[in-house]
């Protein structure tokens, strides 16, 4: 029986081979991973316990589409979000796998529509954030916290961070060239991970629409200067 090797493992083995061949200089000289910029639409992450509350006892998430990052997926399951204004947003996608805390990620206009003052946070940082009500086909869940506007961020492997000269938690800028709408977005958080991570920027729907991302002809990451500015040529 032949064994298959996943993409992340192949990339790691190639980097290691190049590093040995060039005396350890491959991390700074090898061609960087291609940059992908994706819009992350409103969604939620659930704990296993909350999946059962919303979708039924013994229920687990049903993957329907793999996301760009290895191991993550869009689930078949959706929920309806209710805010304090008694307004709702239906058919909000659940993303998997399950997490240790339930979290709802909205764009600014989503939060305004629901009447929720959602702060900008790194995903997972939900302490002291507003809550909401989630409704599924099998039950209702009232969250005391967990609603955020996800800070724009870039996922990076160790090799990507070395290539761009940044560390986990630092800030970068993203320059987007679109017809009549060239824009620089600063405060792009670096989210470092292991060798399985693919180089990817996440923007919310408001940001993606504002920069006309769908028609962008060029995107590039820019390292900030010591003064905290992007140093782009405008």
Q: Are residues 133 and 170 in the same domain?
A: no
| 4 within some domain | no
Return the pLDDT at 27.
36
Q: Are residues 46 and 121 in the same domain?
A: yes
Q: Are residues 160 and 146 in the same domain?
A: no
Q: Which of 111, 80, 78 is nearest to 94 (CA)?
A: 78
User: Which H or E run contains 52?
Assistant: helix 48-55
d(CA 28, CA 182): 29
Q: Are residues 180 and 191 in the same domain?
A: yes
Residue 36 has φ and ψ, to the nearest 5°, of: -120, 135
Return the pLDDT at 28.
36
Q: Are residues 161 and 134 in the same domain?
A: no
Of 123, 150, 177, the last residue of a domain is 150
d(CA 117, CA 69): 29
Q: Which of 174, 204, 176, 170 is nearest to 186 (CA)?
A: 174
Of 114, 131, 150, the last residue of a domain is 150
The pTM of this model reads 0.81
Q: Are residues 114 and 184 in the same domain?
A: no
CATH, residue 161: 2.40.40
Q: Are residues 44 and 140 in the same domain?
A: yes
Of 126, 150, 174, the last residue of a domain is 150
Number of domain units in the chain? 2
Q: Are residues 105 and 127 in the same domain?
A: yes
* Domain of 96, in residue numbers: 40-150
| 18 within some domain | no
Q: Are residues 141 and 196 in the same domain?
A: no
| 143 within some domain | yes
Secondary structure of 62-118 as H, E, C letters? CEEEECCCCCCEEEEEEEEEECCCCCEEEEEEEEECCCCCCEEECCHHHHHHHCCCC
Return the pLDDT at 196.
94
Return the pLDDT at 118.
97
Give the model confidence (pLDDT) of 128-147 as tens digits: 999 999 999 999 999 999 99
Q: Write out residues in the chain with pLDDT < 70, as ranges.
A: 1-32, 226-234
Give the model confidence (pLDDT) of 87-133 as tens digits: 999 999 999 999 999 999 999 999 999 999 999 999 999 999 999 99
Return the pLDDT at 227.
53
| 106 within some domain | yes
Q: Are residues 133 and 219 in the same domain?
A: no
Q: Are residues 90 and 142 in the same domain?
A: yes
């Amino acid at each position: 029986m032949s064994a298959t090797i996943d993409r992340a493992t192949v990339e790691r083995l190639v980097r290691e081979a190049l590093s040995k061949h060039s005396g350890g200089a491959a991390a700074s000289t090898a061609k960087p991973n291609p940059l992908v910029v994706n819009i992350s639409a409103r969604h939620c992450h659930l704990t296993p316990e909350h999946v059962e509350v919303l979708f039924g006892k013994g229920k687990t998430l049903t993957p329907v589409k793999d996301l760009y990052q290895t191991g993550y997926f869009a689930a078949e399951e959706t929920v309806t979000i209710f805010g304090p204004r008694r307004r709702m947003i239906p058919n909000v996608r659940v993303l998997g796998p399950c997490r240790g805390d339930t979290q709802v990620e909205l764009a600014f206009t989503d939060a305004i529509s629901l009447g929720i003052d959602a702060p900008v946070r790194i995903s997972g940082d939900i302490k002291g954030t507003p809550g909401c009500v989630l409704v599924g086909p099998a039950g209702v869940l009232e969250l005391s916290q967990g609603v955020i506007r996800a800070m724009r961020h870039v996922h990076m492997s160790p090799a990507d961070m070395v290539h761009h000269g940044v560390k986990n938690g630092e800030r970068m800028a993203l320059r987007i060239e679109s017809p009549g709408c060239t824009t620089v977005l600063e405060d792009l958080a670096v989210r470092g991970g292991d060798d399985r991570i693919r180089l990817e920027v996440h923007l919310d729907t408001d940001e993606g629409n504002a920069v006309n991302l769908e028609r962008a002809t060029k995107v590039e990451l820019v390292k900030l200067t010591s003064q905290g500015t992007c140093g782009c040529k405008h």
